[in-house]
Amino acid sequence: MVCRIGTGALLGVEVSPVRVEADVAPGLPGFFIVGMGDRAVAESRHRVRAAIKHAGFAFPDGRLTVNLAPADLRKDGTGFDLPIAAAIVLAARDARVDTSGMLIAGELALDGHVRPIPGGICLAAKAKEMGFSTIVLPRASASEAAVVEGIEVLACDHLAEVVSYLLGERFLARARPLEARDDRAEPDLADVRGQAEARKALEIAAAGGHNLLFIGPPGTGKTMLARRLPSLLPDLSFEEALEATTVWSAAGRLGGGGILRRPPFRAPHHTVSDAGLVGSANPPTPGEATLAHRGVLFLDELAEFRRHALEALREPLEDGEIRIRRAHVSLRYPAAFQLVATMNPCPCGRYSVVDPSRCSCDAESVRRYRARVSGPLLDRIDMHVEVRSVSAEELAGPAGESSAEVRERVLAARRRMAARLSRFPQMGAARVNAAIPSGLVREACRPSREAELYLAEIVAGWELSARAFDRLMRVARTIADLEDREEMGIEDVVRASTFRTMDQGIG
C-alpha cells in the first residue's frame, strides 16, 4: 500500500506544503526518492535506512519508492528525513493510519534520534493556515513552534516514538513555548559625552522610525551613537515579535532562545556580499536585512560597502521586503528594518566645516568618494546628520541623559503618533511617521500654512526630489510629536531641515 504523510518545504521564510508518499512493491531491492530533492534530500536515503534499523524496525525488502509531491517544487534541507522514515515503516507494515490532519518534519541521526530543524515557527504557522490540527517536530523545534496558537504542537526525540504515536500505541507530549528572550544588554546613551545635536537626531529617529546617516571624521563617536539606537526603541508588540522570531527561526538563529522581545540589531561588515546582505535563492537563505526585520540594520562606513549591495537595499527601504526571482524560484523575504549608517565626509576622513584645512583631499576625490553612495539611496535615508569632534570640556563634563530617560519621551511621542495615525485605514498596522504612505503625508502630518510654504521654499532651493520632500515632512511631524504639538509648525520644518546635511552639501 501507499502511505502518505504531510510535511513542508522551507523556502526562505515561507513554507510550501509537501506530501511524502511511500510505496513498497515486489521486485529487486532498491530505494528511490523522486520529486526534485536537493543533495541533502538525496543523502537522506542513508540516514533513513540506518535510523529505521537502529529504531528496531526492519527495513523493507523489495522496491521502495518515495515521492515528494508536488514533483515540480524544489525541496531543500534535511527536514524530510522523519516523515520519509515514518511513511516507510507504516507502508512496510501495511498499516492504515489517518495522517490527514497532521504535519511531521525533522532530521534523523543514524541511531534514530531526531535533530532540530530551522523554521519550526514557519512550519507550524503554515500547518495552522492549511487547517492541520497537529504538527510533530523535534523537541527544540517544537518549543519554538509552540508560540503559534491554534494548533497542537507535539515534541519528539526518536523515530520509534513517532511511529508508536502514529500507530496509536503511545502519546507524545505537547511542547511548551520557550520564555521570551530579554536581550536588554544594550549600550546606554549616557556613555556618549557631548554631541547634543547628534543625540537629538537619534531621539527623533527612534521616535519616528526614521532612517539615519551620521557623517563625520573618525573618532567623533558616530559608531558609538549608532549602536545606541536600539536602546531607545520600545519593546516589540506581540505581532512584531512573532514576525521577527519567525525570520530568526527560518534562518536557524534562535539558538534555543524564545520569542524575541527587543528589536533585533544587525551590523554586517562592509565586506558582506550581496547575498549576505539581502539573501539568496540557492539555497534559499535570509540575509542581514531580513534578520533585522522589525529592528535595526547598522551599516558602519557606508561608502566602503559594495555599490551593488547598497543598491539592493533600495527596494526594502521603500517596500519593507526583498523579492528575489530566479529561473525556477521566486522568493519574498520580509525586511522592514530601520537603517542607521555612518560614513566619513571624505577619503582622508578629516574634513570638517569648522576647520576644512585639516582635509588633504581635493574636490574631485571628495566628489568620487561621496558618489559611492548613490542619490536614490540617500533619498531613502530620512536624516543626514553631521557629527563634529567633541571638545575637551565636553569630554570632561557630566554624562548626558540615559537611554531610559530618552526612551520615555520616545514612547510618549509614539503614543501620540498611534492615536493620530489609527484614524487612517491606509496605515494598516503601522503606527510610526516614517511609515506614512506618500499619498497620505499632507493629511497625516497636518502642517500649518506657514510650514507648507517654507517646505516649498526648501524644495525649490535645494532641488529636492518628491521622495525627499515627503521624508522631510515626516521628520518634521515627528519633531512636533516629541514637542506635543497637534499642528506641525514652521519651527518643526526648520529643525528637520538641519538634518538633511547631504542635500545642503557639507563641503
Query: What pLDDT digit, counting tens, does each position of 195-204 carry?
Result: 889 999 999 9
Q: 151, 166, 181: which is the final residue of a domain?
A: 166
What is the pTM for the complete model shown? 0.91
Given this model, what pLDDT does residue 81 score? Answer: 97
Q: Are 22 and 90 in contact (CB under 8 A)?
A: yes
**Whole-number Å distance between alpha carbons of 135 and 127:** 7
339-366: average pLDDT:
84
Given this model, what pLDDT does residue 225 score? Answer: 96
163-186: average pLDDT:
86
Tell me what percent of the residues of the chain surpass a pLDDT of 70: 97
Query: What pLDDT digit, counting tens, does each position of 226-268 carry?
Result: 999 999 999 999 999 999 999 999 999 887 778 899 999 999 9
**Whole-number Å distance between alpha carbons of 403 and 408:** 9
Q: Higher model confidence: residue 175 or residue 258?
A: 175
Q: Are 30 and 92 in contact (CB under 8 A)?
A: no
Q: 166, 200, 234: which is the final residue of a domain?
A: 166
Residue 179 lies in a domain: no
Tell me what percent of the residues of the chain surpass a pLDDT of 90: 71
Residue 266 lies in a domain: yes
Residue 113 lies in a domain: yes
The DSSP secondary structure of 141-194, one letter per residue, reads: HHHHHTTSTTSEEEEESBHHHHHHHHTTS---PBPPPPPPB----PPPGGG--S
Same domain, 319 and 264: yes
Strand 280-281 and strand 284-285: the pairing is antiparallel
Cα–Cα nearest to 403, from 269, 164, 202: 202
Query: What pLDDT digit, counting tens, does each position of 411-462 carry?
Result: 999 999 999 999 998 888 788 999 999 889 999 999 999 999 999 899 888 8
Give the confidence band of 320 by pLDDT, cuts at 50, 70, 90: very high
The DSSP secondary structure of 241-260, one letter per residue, reads: HHHHHHHHHHTT--TT--SB
Same domain, 155 and 219: no
Same domain, 137 and 197: no
At residue 375, does pLDDT exceed 70?
yes
83-89: average pLDDT:
97
Strand partners, 154: 136, 174
Query: What pLDDT digit, counting tens, does each position of 256-315 carry?
Result: 778 899 999 999 999 999 999 999 988 889 999 999 999 999 999 999 999 999 999 999
Cα–Cα nearest to 246, from 230, 260, 231: 260
Same domain, 160 and 203: no
- In terms of residue numbers, what domain contains 16? 2-166
At residue 143, does pLDDT exceed 60?
yes
Given this model, what pLDDT does residue 182 score? Answer: 65
Residue 118's CATH number: 3.30.230.10
Same domain, 474 and 408: yes
